């Protein structure tokens, strides 16, 4: 939690952990993936309402999170952002990012 905005970039080393499969000729090849999936990532920004860290209302991508009429958790809708753009984390933000086919060497 910070009072300033920070920018982060993700670096994906796809060559370090290639996705492979075996063909009928027993040759291993990288599985092609949808290029659109790799161009976009999902982001979930949790922020306090009106920037008040003591607020009882939490916003998900600017929309208040409220239980449904049946007291279920609401649908959590991400925003879609270009994979090449930095991740912007504002003051008092909590940000979750989902990047398809991202391989982090530190997590291997």
Residue 39 placed within a domain: yes
* Residue numbers of the domain that contains 80: 6-107
Domain count, the chain: 1
Residue 88 placed within a domain: yes
* pLDDT for the residue numbered 44: 95
pLDDT, mean of residues 1-11: 62
Structure tokens at 70: 């049946």
* pLDDT for the residue numbered 31: 38
Dihedral (Cα; 22, 23, 24, 26), 10-degree rounding: -50
Residue 1 placed within a domain: no
pTM of the model: 0.66
Residue 96 placed within a domain: yes
Residue 19 placed within a domain: yes
Q: In whole angstroms, how far apart are CA 13 and each of 38, 57, 79, 108?
A: 13, 38, 24, 12
Residue 38 placed within a domain: yes
The label of the residue with tokens 């809708």 reads 77
pLDDT tens digits, one per residue of 50-93: 989 899 999 999 999 999 999 999 999 999 999 888 888 888 88
């Amino acid at each position: 939690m910070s009072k300033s905005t920070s920018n982060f970039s993700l670096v994906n080393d796809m060559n370090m952990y290639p996705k492979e499969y075996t063909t009928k000729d027993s040759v291993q090849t990288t599985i092609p993936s949808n290029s659109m999936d790799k161009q976009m990532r999902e982001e979930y920004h949790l922020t306090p309402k009106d920037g008040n860290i003591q607020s009882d209302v939490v916003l998900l991508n600017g929309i208040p999170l409220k239980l449904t009429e049946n007291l279920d958790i609401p649908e959590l809708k991400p925003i879609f952002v270009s994979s090449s753009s930095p991740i912007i984390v504002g003051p008092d933000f909590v940000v979750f990012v989902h990047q398809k086919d991202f391989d982090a060497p530190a997590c291997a």
